Structure 1
């Protein structure tokens, strides 16, 4: 067999954060631990404080659980066989030889099954029910308190009453994991630590992780002699066993010396968690060694859970109340801004609410070179210099905040009295535009439990020996910004961008649309005054000729006159229809749905069969992706493009029309390619204009409105249109449909 030795090396605080606190290789001497193979329930490791058990029953190593200690644990087998990984189960009390009933727990951790037997404490409660009256009093009392601090004070009194410790305190962590004593109850044997702070290094990160895992931790004697964990030769492994869940797990020697430096003979902690994160500890201390019975610890754990829930509820309620108040302030600010295009002036007219939104003393609004100051804040040149610095800083999203600006940016020392803290939001991606709030320097005194920066020298180990109150004066800092402050600022940013700044974008878009409409109106007016005149002149002229010869029977010429009248009337009718269609396209409502582009193209091609009856056209239509678009409008796009391709391949020997698709980063690109007559690229800019034709009407019929409709429809979908062609070689017409969120896979 072999044992894991507890190191006697010189201790060093720098190594404390790396201490193997989960695998100490030993236990506290108040019981015993057996490590079993979970499949066979054979003991592969043991740590036994009562040496007489080995003489009486022999070494349990290598034996199944049924046979150890004269079969005292045989009735635990069913529970041990079914315990799930990562869980702990209480197995009752078991007498082992002459020793009284041991409180027995089983922990399943990875490939190990740890059976922990803790010796009873003389005079301990027989069950948790004996402690229920004390728990009930605590539950009734918490209903009458209003603040978190009062909750903590109540818990410190109740825990000390249950355990009998000399001092019980509640210890709360800050964002940097420094701890502050917020409540305390004691009998005067140990000094008071109320309102003292303790540095983060006192409880390293790995220790905090264990506090989250194990809600209760007891160290009964800071001078105990650890009992080594012995492993059978047949179960040699690569490293020591993880004893994380075991109450008897031995403690880091650094921590034991820390306790002795505090003149503490025993300690117990109860973890306080808020939404799964470590909020603080109930920390109990005794001048002399002291064991706390299992059922008392269970009651303390229960009280700790109740306290944790109440702290979460109180703090959440306070946050909700604060958010509601800030939301009301924001509504008032938005009311000022409503209907006002100058949001800077609008915000400035309600300075009280602007400052109250983030509980600030001053604010500045910087936009396009202008700077408006409100309340107590740096001067204009200092604010503009600060904005330049902020614009190049790395920060999360569109918000930057700090409560110690002079420490991060040296020039801020010049105005630390009014702006040691700054909270800023960026309101433009183009300009250096910010809204900034300022908080003044708050000089305050912080009482530490000993100088956290003092290095101990000449000692065998480094945990500090002094826990006298040590005062530190904090300067060049403001009150910290909390989540409510930050969220209120971000919500205001969203309001500015969405309600005010977007108005300017909408106005620009409207102006562009008006310019486009004016051009279309001019083209329409020209059409009315020019293109529509000729057909109607024909109607009038040939009608007069007809009437002149009405007395006689119609001859061949008169018939030809009538044919011309009909053709002109039909031309005028077609032109008017196309004009109406074009004008209506800009006013119709779009109803975008997910549509099958392949099926749409095939359907349009089928309906155009009559246009190429008697001709043999080679079609190439691949599978096309689904898009989000207005089906009626997109049908008209394909109808115009395919109809044009059919028309302009009329004189091709082997006409070919190809429909294709390419996928871009933000849009789908579709095209129709033909090998027809093509066009001169010098006139490509005219293609999508109203009544723009590159071929004479005698060669290819049409009104010149079809491609204008295509352009207008695709533009309304947020897409683009363009064309490529060569005279006598064919043409390709392209259009795009932008991706809709979630539709680019």
Structure 2
């Protein structure tokens, strides 16, 4: 379809939606209407057939009090009679007999308000004996219906029951239960018929068949009847209300004429009579009970009232069943949510409470996959798009829906076209923001559910040009043959209960985050105080402690130089020991200062060649190695790493220098540097040697400050090098660990997140 055609069809549909069907200015001919104004009930408007109903031919009606023209109607509007009338909708007053040009005729009288006017509608009482029309005949049917409703196990059974009983009461050829979806499309979910008219069960009809303003009228006016689709409309005179200058609002009218489009629609359906009863659940239009007959048919007032009663009872039971189903689902999802909250409360990092329990995260919204996404991290759970695709959805949400508590769609590809590429995993998206400051989300995904919909005719109704050259208009459906459509790119819709469960989880998460933020604020305040004390301590170490060590070394060297000849060998040994110890203490102070500053220095990450870095550090380290040592280096393909180059150099220097140091007793030292890659995991680097190794029972001490597994007399060092390695790697978001065996060597591992994971 071209863009021009789409625009034309859209305009026609819009025009159909705007058709003023509540002010058509006419009624159906099986009765007459009077519009009354003021306390004297002066007739200011009337249907054109009202005069014929008055006493005698050509009696003027307009401008006269009601009592002068129709004395039998005057007492119907007394305050006592009107007090029993409902505030909304037409109220049946009683049946009266009026003399007419054709003799005395009985009319069912109803009254309702229209602005400042009171409208009286007099519908000629039907003489037909419809099945079950008398109250005595209706009572057993109503009683059995109520009992059947309570026994019905499902909504489908309820709908089938009401369709059967409504058809029995009215005698129509076919009765349908027609349910609206959120887009206004309707589906026939139950049907009862005598075979005269074709079956429409399970067929779907587009929203344009019953446009928005018609659905609103169905909501406000519960029962509508068209006894004969071939009727000639009776105009209301005058067309405009004299006091307001506006057309008469017939929204609550029983006799109101219907749109010509609807009459033509009925004729195309080959139905000459219809009746509809609105199904209201919690004030909203759930659907219709729609009855059709192949020939014109009048339904007596008592039978129609019985249908209204049946439908109201049905709606109450329907609401109870749907409410019960929602309550059961809410309880099940609430139990899952409670477990998740308990898990989050137990974890130091609340997100771990979600990530460690993926089944519950999926169950809380009945999803196939989920993702927890922040600016820095993206965790995937269950069946989801790839990490890069989830990142694209995250970016779109942050840009287009930032600040929204919850976002839900069952057709993600329609609002975010790139999502069509992964519709099989994420046609449905439910998202909650879990931070008020940063773009952070929990995303739930549902896969595409391809389904075939059976329409009652092609839903893409074209606009037909007017032969007289006027504008195109949307004609009613001419064909009701089954038309099948395959729907793609949609998931199972998110129910209100599931959306509410996501909202409640969001509120709980934000509550945990807020509580943690308060705790963090208090901790931050304490840390700031501690940092100031640490800075003061660092200053003391760098100035007050280093100076005495320099003095010790300086005076010891003077003593050795000037008084060495007078010292015994033991004395000179003591002096050398003092100098060596002072040097070691100074080095220890420098290393301690470096370790304390490591956590405060900012990271300046770049992507660099790991092989080049290792080779540079290796060459520098070999300058301190005696030339007679035999070291075999095995360096694999290390690729590239995203890290702060200065800090990463310290990591490599510490690990290589340790490998060289702890293999010096070997005839041939073997030092291996390599990289290991596993799907979905950050790259792992390792340094392996065949040195003295260590006992794995003490592996927990390796990366601690001042922790050593060998004596200083055997291997020099301060015990801070591996602590620096761990601190640097953890600041990059990685992990460190080691494996070893006494006398068999050791392997030290560390991971570094990739550039995408580090964002």
8 Å contact from structure 2 (residues 34, 45) kept in 1: yes
* Residue 418 of structure 1, CA deviation: 0.9
What is aligned with 2:430?
Answer: 423
Deviates more, 1:32-41 or 1:166-175: 32-41
Q: Which residues in structure 2 correspond to 1:300-315 (within 5 Å)?
A: 300-315=307-322
The answer for the alignment partner of 2:65 in structure 1 is 64
Moved more, 346-355 or 121-130: 121-130
Q: Does 1:229 align with 2:236?
A: yes
Q: Distance in 1 between matches of 2:377 and 2:531?
A: 36
Q: Name which of 272, 280, 302 aligns with 2:279.
A: 272
In the other structure, the counterpart of 1:92 is 94
Once the two structures are TM-superposed, the CA of residue 24 in structure 1 deviates from its matched residue by 2.0
Q: Which of 374, 383, 388 is the equivalent residue of 2:381? A: 374
Partner residue of 1:110 out of 100, 112, 115 = 115
Q: Secondary structure at the match of 1:56?
A: coil
Aligned to 1:16: 16
Do 1:13 and 1:463's aligned partners in 2 also have CA atoms closer than 8 Å? no
Look up the match of 1:613. none
1:218 aligns with 2:231: no
Give the CA deviation at 1:80.
Answer: 8.7
Name the residue aligned to 1:598.
Answer: none
Q: How does 1:351-390 map to 2 (within 5 A)?
A: 351-390=358-397
- Equivalent position SS for 1:22: helix
| Residue deviations 1:487-528 (CA, integer Å, cap 9, x gap) | 2222222222322563254133234147559999x99xxxxx
SS at match of 1:224: coil
Name the SS of the counterpart of 1:494 in structure 2: helix
Residue 37 of structure 1 is matched in structure 2 by 37
Q: Which residue of 1 aligns with 2:142?
A: 135
Alignment of 1:589-608 (within 5 A): none
The structural deviation recorded for 1:126 is 7.7
State the secondary structure of the residue aligned to 2:47.
strand
What SS does the aligned partner of 1:67 have?
helix
Q: CA deviation at 1:268?
A: 0.6
Say which SS state the counterpart of residue 239 (structure 1) adopts. Answer: coil
Question: Match of 1:319, SS?
Answer: helix
Comparing 401-410 and 324-333, the one that deviates more: 401-410
Change (3 A) 1:370 1:265: same
In structure 2, the partner of 1:442 is: 449
CA distance in 1: counterparts of 2:430 and 2:77, whole angstroms: 62
Report the counterpart of residue 512 of structure 1 in structure 2.
525
Mapping of 1:228-307 within 5 angstroms? Answer: 228-231=235-238, 235=242, 238-307=245-314
1:335 matches 2:336: no
Give the structure-1-normalised TM-score.
0.64
Once residues 237 and 333 of structure 1 are traced to their aligned partners in structure 2, the CA distance between those partners, rounded to angstroms, is 62
SS at match of 1:138: helix
What does residue range 351-500 of structure 1 map to in structure 2 within 5 Å? 351-394=358-401, 397-455=404-462, 457=464, 462-499=475-512
**Residue pair 1:44, 1:232 contacting (<8 A) in 2 also:** no
- In structure 2, the residue corresponding to 1:289 is in which secondary structure? coil
The question of 1:325 aligning with 2:332 is answered: yes
Q: CA deviation at 1:116?
A: 1.0
Residue equivalent to 2:46: 46
Question: CA 1:340–1:132 in structure 2 vs 1: closer, same or farther (change >3 Å)?
Answer: same
Match of 2:124 in 1: 119
Q: Kindly state the Cα deviation for residue 209 of structure 1 after the two structures are TM-superposed.
A: 1.6
Structure 1: 5+ residue runs without aligned partners?
A: 1-10, 524-745
**CA-CA distance at 1:128 after TM superposition:** 4.4
2:754 match: none
Q: Is the 8 A contact 1:399 1:426 kept in 2?
A: yes
Q: 1:66 to 1:396 in 2, by over 3 A?
A: farther
Deviation at 1:402, TM superposition (A): 1.6
Aligned-CA RMSD value: 3.0
Which shows bigger deviation, 399-408 or 452-461?
452-461
Q: Rate the CA distance shift 1:194–1:396 in 2: closer, same or farther, 3 A.
A: farther
Map 1:126-205; keep pairs closer than 5 Å: 128=135, 130-205=137-212
Report deviation, 1:348.
Answer: 2.4
Give ranges in structure 2 of 5+ residues lacking alignment: 1-10, 468-472, 537-759
What residue is the counterpart of 2:664 in the other structure? none
CA gap of 1:375–1:239, structure 2 versus 1, over 3 A, is same
Distance 1:112 1:89 in 2: 15
Cα contact 2:448–2:490 (8 A) shared by 1: yes
Describe the shift of the 1:377–1:137 C-alpha distance in structure 2 as closer, same or farther (beyond 3 A). same
SS of residue in 2 equivalent to 1:355? helix
1:620-659 residue pairs with structure 2 within 5 A? none
